[in-house]
Amino acid sequence: MTAKSVPPTPANWRALLAARPVRNAAAAAEETDDGGVRIGVRKADAWWRRAPWKWAVPGGDLRYTVLDRLGRELWEICDGRTVEEIVEEMARRHRLTFHESRTAVTPLLRELIRRGALAIALSPPNDQVNIR
């Protein structure tokens, strides 16, 4: 119709919103002075992290991710809720629209997953009943 009319973007976020990020149970979290959190995640196993090599290679066994106050809030509500529920909760707390909250929350979730602080739960939580 218009000269450069393009088909609408097929993007939808259903699968993303249904995902359930959960905190890595092995991660060590400690509060920082500014109200944020420092999350320590064990690094992947490698030969240079074993004795005797590790005595010569600098760096500890944990990789740390530091989050500010907002990041800490997000980290704390990753308790088995879906991404959609997390986005809604952050939107409610900070008076954002759904998509404002989504565009703030999802890159941080992605980064925390990449760093091993969060994982995506594949099974439904215990209280979910599937009616067949």
Partner 1 sequence: MNGALWIWRNFRFLLPGDWELLQFTRRPGEGRCAWADRCAFRLEFVWRAVPGPPDFDRMMGDYAAKLETEGARKLRRERRDAWHGIAAEQGGRPISRFGAYFDRESCVVELVFPWPEERSPALERAVLAAVREEPPDAAGRRRWRAFGLDLRVDGRLDLAECRVAPGSAEFRFADERGRRIVRCRRLGLRPFWMKTGVADWVRGQTRDWRAARETSERREGHEVFRREGDAPTGFLERALRGRKCAGMEAWICPADDRLYAREWRGPAPFAEDEGRRGALGCAGCGGLGA
First to last CA, the chain: 46
Return the number of the residue (13 or 64) whose C-beta is nearest partner 1: 13
Q: Provide, rounded to whole angstroms, the least separation between the CB of residue 69 and partner 1.
A: 7
Q: Provide, rounded to whole angstroms, the least separation between the CB of residue 100 and partner 1.
A: 4
Return the number of the residue (11 or 56) whose C-beta is nearest partner 1: 11
CB neighbour class for 104 (10 Å; exposed up to 12, middle 13-18, buried from 19):
middle
Chain residues that interact with partner 1, rule: CB under 8 A: 1-14, 17, 69-70, 84, 94-104
d(CA 65, CA 31): 12
Q: Provide, rounded to whole angstroms, the least separation between the CB of residue 77 and partner 1.
A: 16
**Distance from chain centroid for Cα 83:** 9
